[in-house]
Structure 1
Amino acid sequence: MKNIAYLFLAFVLIFSSCSEEEIPAQMTVELNFENTLNGKPLQLNSETFTLPSGEPFIAKKLKYYISNVVLTDTQSGAIYNVPNSYHLLGEDFKSTVELGMIPSANYDQITFSIGVDAEANAKTDQTGDLDPNNDMAWNWNSGYKFVVLEGEFTHKTTGERTGLVLHIGRNQNYKTVTQSLTGIRAGRAAQIQLKTVVDQLFLSPNALNASELPSTTIMGGELADKIGENYANGFITIE
């Protein structure tokens, strides 16, 4: 009986070791962004949306940078800093960021920044998504625009269609956010779905009414900094 028991135990151990799935050393991760306003997919130059303050709005341009993406497995402590991580997104640009082959881990947290860090923001002789020809470098100042929204809204008082231009940049408006992830398993290809909520540019902590703005062209100053505070809070979220 002992011999039979030993044989059975050996069989179980061999079977268990053979049945364990070998985890590949690398995996692919892709970030997919959906731009929304009023809870609907944003479309340029066509559909009329409504700003949070109630004005009808037609979007004509939306672009924004995310940079310095970091993936973390908080259980194992594994951290992956994506190299050369500057990505220009928007409704008239790309909506997907492919991180390529990265070390395998059960990543449950993502950190990224909205805008361009101070080092990269100090020079505009760069290529790829930081190429000044992408129309995101200032032509009157050094550095980059971090978030751009342009369109027309119907003014509450005059009833006239009025242009709205938000060009937000400068180092104080470089904002870093961290969000939790679920469902990512080591060695398996992963797609992370993110939603960009344009409404948040006008919501909190600084509620902004387009019809009451002292200027509808915002390229710096206190109002730009308020919008920077707003997009640090719920502008890009995990779906």
Structure 2
Amino acid sequence: MRSNTFIFILSITLTALYTSCSSDDDTSALTGEGQVSIAFDNGVAGDDLILHTSAYTNTNGERLTIDRLTYIVSNFTLTDDEGNTYVYPKDDSYFIISEESDKTEITLNGIPAGNYTRIKFGVGVDQEKYLQGAEGQGDFLAEAETEEMMWSWQAGYKFLNFEGTFTSGSVTEATEFKIHMGSHGSSLDNYREVTLDLGTNAIVSETMSPLIHLAVDADKILNGTNKIVLSEQAVIMISEEKSPMISENATEMFSVDHVHNGSGSHH
């Protein structure tokens, strides 16, 4: 009898524990709003990006010293595990990521509670935003000018500003390279979008604010699907041929490294 009583009590205890654990994992109970932070961990072919000092060799046999890596990300949307998509407010959805200025993390506020599985964002500035004119750009226009991400208002934004010096088998003295990519009015639209599955779900609620770490591989700019050889052309700014190739490469820079779930800040 005592044995049966013990088993009965043990059964009740295990059931209670299971129910408790299940409720902790039950994201349907998530309520309110939270924030999602995104860290852009800039690197080069698996190494950390260190400006001005370290040299990186690409598959073209060119040895690069990188002095600047700055790019615009925009138009964020998040998709949850039920297929619902939250579109971040457009006027607040433009950010400059700059290794030089140590701007490598952004925060999206007011995200509805949910269990998010996917993120989508743009690289650059879309035509709808550009066609709002200078008045429609708000504070972002001034920030872009400060970060050297403008040619001029009429010419538009630089979506990517990648600069430094290089040597190669045929270029033996350190030579400056400049890769500036963007759209030019409505005639050459190089805005592109990236969609990434998070792998680990980002859990958002009034008490949960995840941090998504994106690995960013600057090697892809020259060495993505399209091969850009600096020895052939070291300065590329407005190019109907190569700018679209670079814009496609730029979308390949991004991958999800890991997701931190929890309250407060995580690094």
The answer on whether the counterparts of 1:64 and 1:90 sit within 8 Å (CA) in structure 2 is yes
Deviation (angstroms), 1:186: 4.1
Task: Give the secondary-structure state (helix, strand or coil) at the position aligned to 1:106.
Answer: strand
CA 1:139/1:52 → structure 2, altered by over 3 Å: closer, same or farther? Answer: farther
TM-score between the two structures when normalised by the length of structure 1: 0.84
1:109 aligned partner: 118
1:3 aligned partner: none
In the alignment, the residues of structure 2 paired with residue 136 and residue 56 of structure 1 have an alpha-carbon distance, to the nearest angstrom, of: 25
Please state if 1:173 is matched with 2:169.
no
1:154 aligned partner: 167
The answer on whether the counterparts of 1:154 and 1:162 sit within 8 Å (CA) in structure 2 is yes
- Of 131, 152, 163, the match for 2:176: 163
Please state if 1:37 is matched with 2:44.
yes
Please state if 1:225 is matched with 2:236.
no
2:32 aligned partner: 25
In the alignment, the residues of structure 1 paired with residue 74 and residue 147 of structure 2 have an alpha-carbon distance, to the nearest angstrom, of: 16
Deviations 1:33-59 (A, max 9, x none): 111113111111111222331221111
2:158 aligned partner: 145
Deviations 1:106-125 (A, max 9, x none): 11010001001112224345
Please state if 1:134 is matched with 2:147.
yes
After TM superposition, the structure 1 = structure 2 runs for residues 209-224 of structure 1, keeping only pairs within 5 Å, are 209-211=229-231, 213=232, 215-221=233-239, 222-224=241-243
2:99 aligned partner: 91
- Of 220, 232, 235, the match for 1:200: 220
The answer on whether the counterparts of 2:58 and 2:223 sit within 8 Å (CA) in structure 1 is no
- Of 48, 52, 58, the match for 2:55: 48
The answer on whether the counterparts of 2:149 and 2:157 sit within 8 Å (CA) in structure 1 is yes
Amino acid at match of 1:76: E
The answer on whether the counterparts of 2:35 and 2:204 sit within 8 Å (CA) in structure 1 is no
After TM superposition, the structure 1 = structure 2 runs for residues 7-26 of structure 1, keeping only pairs within 5 Å, are 20=23, 22-26=29-33
4+ residue stretches of structure 1 with deviation over 6 A? none
Deviation (angstroms), 1:20: 4.6
Amino acid at match of 1:196: V
The answer on whether the counterparts of 2:79 and 2:118 sit within 8 Å (CA) in structure 1 is yes
Please state if 1:77 is matched with 2:96.
no
Residue-pair matches, total: 222
TM-score between the two structures when normalised by the length of structure 2: 0.76
- Identical-pair percentage: 32
**Can you give the 5+ residue segments of structure 1 that lack an aligned partner in the other structure?**
1-11
Task: Give the secondary-structure state (helix, strand or coil) at the position aligned to 2:189.
Answer: helix
Deviation (angstroms), 1:141: 4.6
Amino acid at match of 1:92: E
**Can you give the 5+ residue segments of structure 2 that lack an aligned partner in the other structure?**
1-14, 258-267
Please state if 1:238 is matched with 2:256.
yes
Task: Give the secondary-structure state (helix, strand or coil) at the position aligned to 1:172.
Answer: coil
Deviation (angstroms), 1:95: 0.3
In the alignment, the residues of structure 2 paired with residue 229 and residue 154 of structure 1 have an alpha-carbon distance, to the nearest angstrom, of: 25
